[in-house]
Chains A and B, each alone.
Chain A
Amino acid sequence: MSAAVGISVELKDIIQEYPHKDGKGVLRVVSGVSMTLDRPGIIMLLGPSGCGKSTILHMMGGVRPIGVQTPTSGTVLIDGVPCSEAHDDAVMVFQRYANRPDLSVEDNVSFPFRLKHWRTRVAPAEAKSRVDAMLKAVGLDGHRRHLPSQLSGGQNQRVALARALVLKPRILLMDEPFGALDAQTRTEMQALLSVMLETNPCLVVFVTHDVTEALLLGDRVIVLSAQPAVIADDFAILEPRPRSATWQRSSEALKMEERILAQLHSASPGRGSLRVSV
């Protein structure tokens, strides 16, 4: 991973509360999370369902849900500057890709350049060449006229990935991006992501349920506890990508896997809702 991109994302004492569904009191989802992410690479964010992984990811992107103050307390700093709005540094990729069904693959990837924000910052010719290059890079050059409904789930996620990277973000926020894909496609997408990051180095924060995925992709793994979330574990994986099947079966990898699983299990005592694919 090239270190050409300097970036720092800092979370300080993040607390997040949502109003209870019955209207009485509040539900604490995140309870004092602090972390500093300051070098390009893939940060895997794991934790049991409902522990606030996505909430933290949304905070980093400056995407605010409606009607709730986020974070309830604490600060998110991007390069030391408090972040309160959606910003150019970070782009999100969602599990359900959010591709416009009425637009072709090409128009979906160039969608951001329809918006005033990017129209005033990126010249049309530059936008076009970026889109062309990105379509080739994700292997959709032959599908540029197709509609999302004519594509597979993996291809749709390629569109979403291309649409994010075409903006050259310094931070890529991925919210269980491959969670809805079948195993075969997920493996392909994981490989593609690795390759894409070689040419588009950025800080990736990747939320997942999948321990195997975390070990396959992560430069660093942060495990959150059950709701209300605190950081339960945080360690680095030094093995370079792509990681071989041999490494994945090595005692080092197995130990890491056990370490994560132990946290996830202790994080949710007696709860049957833990969704971890091992």
Chain B
Amino acid sequence: MWNPYEPLSARTTRVLGVSAVLFVLLAWTVLSASGWISQNKLPSPWRVVKAFSYLAWDSVNQRSLLWDATLWSVGRVLAAGLLVIAIGIPIGVLMGASPRVNSALSPLVDPFRSAPVVALLPIMVMWFGIGEWMKVLFLFFGAVVFLIPMVRDAVRAVPQAYWISARDLGASPFEAVWHAVLPLAMPRIADAVIVGISVMWTYITVAEYVNAGEGLGQLISNARRFSAMDQVFAGIIVIIAFALLSYQLMHFIKARLYPWETKL
């Protein structure tokens, strides 16, 4: 039992995981059926499933709230994700490649890792209004403050021997970074992107809190306003599912791009 290195079979892993989930579902069902907690506070799993199916297809209005909301949220995460990759990675690489750049930028970047990003929302609203830009920039900001230090550390984690060896073979300092350090940092830079995108899913509800007509976050805050706890639960589960799905997808892509990584 207490052997951290014990190899588990796929079956054991699955059985343990599924039974834990089943146990929670069972406890949830019992708890909500017992009547100790009102259905408004803790809807039963069945009601959440019904809410989910209503959100998935509203037969009265002939539309899928969930589909529309998901498209909007995914779109915002993608837009912010592209911004994070296009702006965050170059900044992190520059900081990692040059201690001078790092000394200059790190006081501007690092403190925000522990800053209450959510508290910045009112400022973002003041600066960028309540439109689409504000939401995307909020997501961007929340993720990029994590991504930049991770990218920097990824570059710095490459052993100096690679840089020295490339220099010895005739590379200019920049070439040594470009041809010897950066390629080796790529898997960990990909990890930084994965963390950045995952962080965005946790901020999506906040981003869509202000003046969103659509989106999963808006769907949840709307449902809460009408005390539709079952819909709140369904919305949260959908967000978690998408966060997990994108996480798995990104890991799959990363493994394809850098098959040599684990063997470094």
- Bound-state Cα–Cα, A114 to B171, Å: 9
B168 touches which one: A61, A102, A103, A149 (CB < 8 A)? A61
- Bound-state Cα–Cα, A163 to B171, Å: 14
A-B residue pairs in contact (CB < 8 Å), sample of 13: A61-B168, A63-B168, A91-B169, A92-B165, A96-B159, A98-B164, A98-B180, A100-B162, A114-B179, A115-B175, A116-B175, A147-B263, A149-B264
Question: Is the Cβ of A98 less than 8 Å from the Cβ of B260?
Answer: no
A141-168 CB contact bits vs B (8 Å, 1 = yes)?
Answer: 0000001110000000000000100010
- Bound-state Cα–Cα, A103 to B166, Å: 14
Question: Is the Cβ of B170 less than 8 Å from the Cβ of A86?
Answer: yes
Q: Which of B239-264 contact A (CB under 8 A)?
A: 258, 260-261, 263-264
A116 touches which one: B165, B166, B172, B264 (CB < 8 A)? B172
B residues at A contact (CB < 8 Å): 159, 161-162, 164-172, 175, 179-180, 183-184, 186, 258, 260-261, 263-264
Q: Report the contact-size class of chain A (Cβ under 8 Å from the partner).
A: 20 to 34
A120-152 CB contact bits vs B (8 Å, 1 = yes)?
Answer: 000000000000000000000000000111000
A84-106 CB contact bits vs B (8 Å, 1 = yes)?
Answer: 00101011101010101111000
Is the CB of A118 closer than 8 A to any CB of chain B? yes
- Bound-state Cα–Cα, A147 to B261, Å: 11
Is the CB of A18 closer than 8 A to any CB of chain B? no
Q: 4 nearest interchain CB pairs?
A: A149-B263, A117-B170, A98-B165, A112-B169
A115 touches which one: B171, B183, B263 (CB < 8 A)? B171
Question: Is the Cβ of A167 less than 8 Å from the Cβ of B175?
Answer: no
Contacts of A90 in B (CB 8 A): 168
Q: A98-B161, A111-B169 are in contact. List 17 more A-B contacts (CB 8 A).
A: A63-B167, A86-B167, A88-B170, A90-B168, A94-B165, A98-B162, A98-B165, A98-B180, A100-B184, A102-B260, A103-B183, A114-B179, A115-B172, A117-B170, A118-B170, A147-B260, A167-B170
A242 to nearest B CB, angstroms? 29
Contacts of A147 in B (CB 8 A): 260, 263
Contacts of B183 in A (CB 8 A): 100, 102-103
- The residue in B165, B166, B180 that gathers the most chain A C-beta atoms within 10 A of its C-beta is B165
Closest partner residue, chain B, to A117 (CB atom): B170
Closest partner residue, chain B, to A67 (CB atom): B99
Contacts of A101 in B (CB 8 A): 184, 260-261, 263-264
B134 to nearest A CB, angstroms? 40
- Bound-state Cα–Cα, A37 to B168, Å: 20
Question: Is the Cβ of A86 less than 8 Å from the Cβ of B263?
Answer: no
Closest partner residue, chain B, to A119 (CB atom): B170
- Bound-state Cα–Cα, A276 to B186, Å: 39
B11 to nearest A CB, angstroms? 29
A112 touches which one: B164, B170, B261, B263 (CB < 8 A)? B170
Closest partner residue, chain A, to B179 (CB atom): A114
Question: Is the Cβ of A167 less than 8 Å from the Cβ of B263?
Answer: no
Say whether, besides A101-B263, A101-B264, A94 and B161 are in contact (CB < 8 Å). Answer: yes
Contacts of B184 in A (CB 8 A): 100-102
Contacts of A163 in B (CB 8 A): 169
- Bound-state Cα–Cα, A101 to B169, Å: 17
- Bound-state Cα–Cα, A24 to B90, Å: 37
A63-93 CB contact bits vs B (8 Å, 1 = yes)?
Answer: 1000000000000000000000010101110
- Bound-state Cα–Cα, A61 to B167, Å: 10
Question: Is the Cβ of B161 less than 8 Å from the Cβ of A96?
Answer: yes
B222 to nearest A CB, angstroms? 48
B187 to nearest A CB, angstroms? 9
- The residue in A115, A116, A163 that gathers the most chain B C-beta atoms within 10 A of its C-beta is A115
Say whether, besides A94-B165, A98-B162, A102-B184, A115 and B260 are in contact (CB < 8 Å). Answer: no
Question: Is the Cβ of A149 less than 8 Å from the Cβ of B260?
Answer: yes
- Bound-state Cα–Cα, A61 to B171, Å: 14
